[in-house]
C-alpha cells in the first residue's frame, strides 16, 4: 500500500484558558509542531482557505493493519 502523509495537518484543537482562543497543534513533515494559542477565526481561516486536513492516526507513519 502506498502512503503519502499530508505535508501539513492539524493534530489537535483544544480549548484554551483564554476566552475565545484554542490551542492549535499543527505539525508538518518539515518540523514538529509548537502548539500555539490562536483564535477560532484563525483555525477556520486556515482550514477553509488552505484545506489543511486533520492528521491521520499515527501521522506521519503509514497506517498499520493487524492481520491474524
DSSP-derived secondary structure for 10-40: B-EEEE-SSTTEEEEE--BSSS----EEEEH
Q: Is residue 15 part of a domain?
A: yes
Instruction: State the pLDDT confidence band at 67, using cuts at 50, 70 and 90.
Output: low
pLDDT at 13: 94
Residue 66 lies in a domain: no
Residue 1 belongs to a domain: yes
- Mean per-residue pLDDT of the chain: 84
Q: Tally the domains of the chain.
A: 1
Q: Would 11 be classed as within a structural domain?
A: yes
Domain with 11 in it: 1-31
Q: Grid coordinates representing 39?
A: 483564535
Q: Is 51 left (phi over 0), alpha (psi -120 to 50) or beta?
A: left
Note the pTM of the prediction, 2 decimals. Answer: 0.73
Which residue from 38, 44, 45 is spatially nearest to 20, judged by alpha carbons?
A: 38
pLDDT digits (tens, 9 = 90+) for 27-66: 888 887 779 999 999 988 988 898 888 888 888 776 666 5
What pLDDT, on the 0 to 100 scale, is given for residue 29?
Answer: 83
Say which DSSP state 52 is in. P
Q: Would you say residue 18 lies in a domain? A: yes
Amino acid at each position: 500500500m502506498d502512503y503519502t502523509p499530508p505535508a501539513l495537518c492539524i493534530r489537535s484543537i483544544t480549548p484554551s484558558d483564554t476566552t475565545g482562543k484554542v490551542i492549535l497543534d499543527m505539525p508538518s513533515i518539515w518540523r514538529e509542531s509548537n502548539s500555539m494559542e490562536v483564535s477560532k477565526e484563525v483555525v477556520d481561516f486556515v482550514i477553509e482557505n488552505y484545506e489543511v486536513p486533520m492528521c491521520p492516526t499515527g501521522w506521519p507513519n503509514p497506517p498499520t493493519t493487524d492481520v491474524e
